[in-house]
Structure formats: structure tokens, C-alpha cells
């Protein structure tokens, strides 16, 4: 006699619902890009990134982490931060480009999306066979959510300075930017990992107050905050590389 499968609690469903909502937000962003509403498209990508950060945290709080949730999260990340940003840029920045350049731009869009997919596949394989010894305190390459936000950073800057969208070099620059961010996602360059950040006990109140200030600033000036955080993240990459090289010389 076959035994019925064990019933899952509501706790195991909540993180997956957040993941699916993140995916839906990414797809909705494409809809608004097709309708010419770049600002709303960016808002939904921002919402997708917030939901992506919450699902794993909620899963750990509720002790509902699972392999199914990890796989679903990777698929949602590919849609929200691999496919959606590329399509948003293509239909917003490259929509009025000449036919020849439009074909090139579509190639850079495909490259960006495929690099995101490769990045996520490499991440999943690494989780299946974790390396022995002490884990590295950083990531290898830019993670998919970071790649999606960085890929859209120039478009967020155009919301602050609309004149940039009319500049004749804006479209060629954006095509090169997509290639750069895509290659950074599949690279092995060490990058900062917020999840591995450990704040000393005596600084936690200050850290929480700082995060609250950033949140309030993001609500008031979302595009300025987006560009500022992405810029700081890019600056942290060479800083981390120099720090690691100095540590290797010491050892």
C-alpha cells in the first residue's frame, strides 16, 4: 500500500511565493518597457530585487529552505535579472536605433542574458559540490541580481538626467555596458557579498540606523540611490582585488 506524501506546512510555501512574485515583477517590468514606461519598468525590477533578497532570508527564518526553493530561485533570477533587464534596455534605449545597430544591440542583449544564465548554472553546480576547507568570504563574479541592477544603472541615470538619452553616444555606450556587465557576471573576479558581511556587536545599532537612512533615501530619491549604490559596488571590486593581493604578499 502506497503511503501518501507528507503534507507541507504553510511555512514552506511562503518563500516560494516570494520567489514567484519576484519573477512576476521582472516580467511586469518588461510589459511597462514595451509600453514606453521606463520609470515603472525600473520600479518593478527594484521590487524584484527586494523580493529576491527576502525569499532566502524568510526561508532561513522559517526553517523552510529546500533544494526545490534553490532551483526555483535560480530560474526566477534568470527571468527577473537576466532576461528582463536585457529586454528593458533593448526596447527603451535601442528602440529608435538604426537597423544595423539594432541588430548589434540585440546581440549584446543576448550576450547579457546568456551570461546571467551561465552565472546561475555555475552557482548551482558549486552548491551541489561545495569546496573543501574554509569557504571564501567573497563571491566569484557579479551575482545575477547585482548584474541586473548594474545592467540598468545607466537607464536609472537617464531618469535623473533625461538629456543623456538624447546623446548620440548613449546607445553605443549602453551596448558596451551590457557586454561589460555580462562578462563580469561569468568572470572569476572576487566581488563583495552582502550575505557574508559580519557586523561586530558594538556597531550593529549604527549599521541598522545607516540601513534605515539608505531606505528612507531610496524612497525619496530612488534613482540617485540606485546609481550611488551601484557605483559604490563597482568601486569595491578593484578595492577587494587590491586587498586580497596585499594579504597574499603578507602570507
Question: Per-residue pLDDT for the chain (251 aa), expressed as one digit of tens each?
Answer: 455 555 556 667 788 888 899 999 999 999 999 998 989 999 999 999 988 888 877 777 877 777 887 888 889 999 999 999 999 999 988 877 777 788 889 999 999 999 999 999 888 887 666 555 556 667 888 999 999 999 999 999 999 998 888 888 888 999 999 999 999 999 988 888 776 666 667 767 777 787 778 788 878 888 899 999 999 999 988 887 777 777 666 65
Give the end-to-end CA distance of the chain in Å, rounded to a whole number.
62
What is the pTM for the complete model shown?
0.85
- What cell was used for 182? 555580462
> Residue 99 and residue 85: Cα distance in Å, rounded?
21
Report the pLDDT value the prediction gives residue 128, as an integer from 0 to 100. Answer: 64
For the chain, domains (ranges, CATH) are 11-129+136-250 (1.20.120.1760)
> Residue 136 and residue 139: Cα distance in Å, rounded?
7
Report the pLDDT value the prediction gives residue 69, as an integer from 0 to 100. Answer: 79
Report the pLDDT value the prediction gives residue 18, as an integer from 0 to 100. Answer: 87
Cβ pair 119, 147 in contact under 8 A: yes
**Displacement of CA 60 from its chain's centroid (Å):** 20
At residue 165, φ and ψ (nearest 5 deg) are -65, -25
> Residue 94 and residue 174: Cα distance in Å, rounded?
9
Task: Give the side-chain half-sphere CA count within 13 A for 162.
Answer: 2
Amino acid at each position: 500500500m502506497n503511503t501518501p506524501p507528507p503534507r507541507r506546512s504553510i511555512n514552506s510555501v511562503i518563500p516560494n511565493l516570494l520567489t514567484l512574485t519576484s519573477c512576476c515583477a521582472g516580467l511586469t517590468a518588461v510589459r511597462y518597457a514595451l509600453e514606453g514606461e521606463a520609470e515603472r519598468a525600473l520600479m518593478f525590477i527594484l521590487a524584484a530585487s527586494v523580493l529576491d533578497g527576502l525569499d532566502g532570508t524568510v526561508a532561513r527564518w522559517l526553517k523552510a529552505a529546500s533544494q526545490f526553493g534553490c532551483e526555483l530561485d535560480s530560474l526566477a533570477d534568470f527571468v527577473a535579472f537576466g532576461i528582463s533587464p536585457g529586454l528593458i534596455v533593448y526596447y527603451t534605449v535601442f528602440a529608435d536605433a538604426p537597423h544595423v545597430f539594432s541588430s548589434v544591440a540585440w546581440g549584446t542583449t543576448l550576450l547579457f542574458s546568456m551570461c546571467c544564465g551561465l552565472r546561475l548554472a555555475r552557482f548551482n553546480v558549486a552548491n551541489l559540490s561545495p569546496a573543501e576547507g574554509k569557504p571564501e568570504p567573497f563571491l566569484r563574479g557579479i551575482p545575477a541580481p547585482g548584474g541586473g541592477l548594474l545592467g540598468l544603472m545607466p537607464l536609472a541615470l537617464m531618469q535623473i538626467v533625461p538629456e543623456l538619452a538624447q546623446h548620440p553616444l548613449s546607445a553605443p555606450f549602453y551596448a558596451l555596458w551590457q557586454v561589460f556587465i555580462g562578462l563580469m557576471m561569468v568572470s572569476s573576479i572576487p566581488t563583495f557579498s552582502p550575505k557574508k558581511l559580519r557586523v561586530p556587536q558594538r556597531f550593529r545599532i549604527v549599521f541598522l540606523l545607516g540601513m534605515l537612512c539608505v531606505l528612507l533615501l531610496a524612497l525619496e530619491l530612488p534613482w540617485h540611490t540606485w546609481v550611488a549604490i551601484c557605483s559604490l559596488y563597482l568601486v569595491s571590486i578593484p578595492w577587494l582585488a587590491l586587498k586580497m593581493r596585499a594579504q597574499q604578499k603578507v602570507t
